[in-house]
Amino acid sequence: MIRRLPTSEIHLNRRYRYFEHATLKPREGTLLTAGGGWYKFDTGTARGADNVVEEIGSGSSSSSSSSGSSAPAAAAASRTGMSEDRDERKVGEAESSSDATSGDEMDEEPDADVSLAGQLLAVAGRFGLTDDTVISVVIEMTRKDLDLYSTSRPLMRDLLSEPRFIASCMKTADNLVALFSGGASVAAGAATRGNQKSMTTTAANLCTAIEQNAATGCIARITYGIHGFVVVVTDGKAELLQSFASGKEPETLAWHCKNPRRFSVSGVCDVLKQMAGTTKAGRKEGQSAISGDPDYEPETVLEDASNTFPDVAFTWSVHPIPAIPVILERVRAQIEANLKVVGRHLKK
């Protein structure tokens, strides 16, 4: 019987047996990089931890990044301990509002060592929720959003069972800003498409705004190319939250919460500057740290035929946020309110 490894036992620069993504044939190799659900070896690539089968010794590769830049290092650190396994795409299994608790008000101090993403999942867990799609729906959507679906049982069932109906990067980013902040921006910017200097200056201005508001906490809403996402900064740490609609398998907010990307404030600024930097290699590193390696996850590249550097849509805004316990209470209240609408559509 083949034993798959948990992600906590998969480490860079060690040798493993794995199933190569393109051929599904077993191979052996040294793990060079890991992120976004992909494991890149010196002999090929595996998708998902369930395709990394067995450790067979220390690797001979001496480096997981040859560029020496801080963005790949930050990305690798942010991905340590990722859970790569997706929840099964089915609604229910004790996710009925009649069985769920009220979630209780957030009367405990959050653990500073736990990611904000992990704390969001913990709030959902208080209601007995485990399915990625359902969690994303009840965290993100407002009552007004849900009313569009509530008049049709088939539409509501699709919403609660199909990730493609909730995984929308731009909408997720807007929803999180409204839920976490609800306030006007304290700074904003937009690059002039086709102007390379404007792109780099816009990235620098974004980072300045993040750094200036890091002490009090902020959320940055960013659109770059075909992707929208947010960076939440609290207690000297930055965390990227997002969803992806494109690709064969849409990635929901909750799925990304189970695969958190965390950085230092300076680290995330390095990534954002590289994202819109002047060199192709630098942009690849920055964009890979946000969305995954473009070589192995082409559906999540931030640029496309209509958004090729420097002719790229790039806008941002930075908003103040309250303390984390306040944010978590807002999330709890929204989940509780939304379960009153969707609860009857969930299987017991």
Task: Report pLDDT for 38.
Answer: 75
- Cβ–Cβ under 8 Å, residues 323 and 217: yes
Express each pLDDT in 51-100 by its tens digit. Answer: 787 888 655 433 333 333 344 333 333 333 333 333 333 334 333 433 44
Task: Report pLDDT for 72.
Answer: 39
Share of the chain above pLDDT 90, in %: 47
Sheet holding 261-264, edge to edge: 187-190, 314-320, 218-224, 227-234, 237-241, 261-264
Whole-model pTM: value is: 0.70
Measured CA angle at 233 (ends 286, 39), to 5 deg? 40
DSSP string, 141-196: --HHHHHHHHT-HHHHHHHHH-GGGT--HHHHHHHHHHHHT-S--SEEEEPPTT-H
pLDDT band at 336 (very low <50, low <70, confident <90, very high): very high
- Cβ–Cβ under 8 Å, residues 60 and 30: yes
208 Cβ neighbours under 8 A, 6+ residues apart: none
Higher-scoring residue by pLDDT: 52, 35: 52
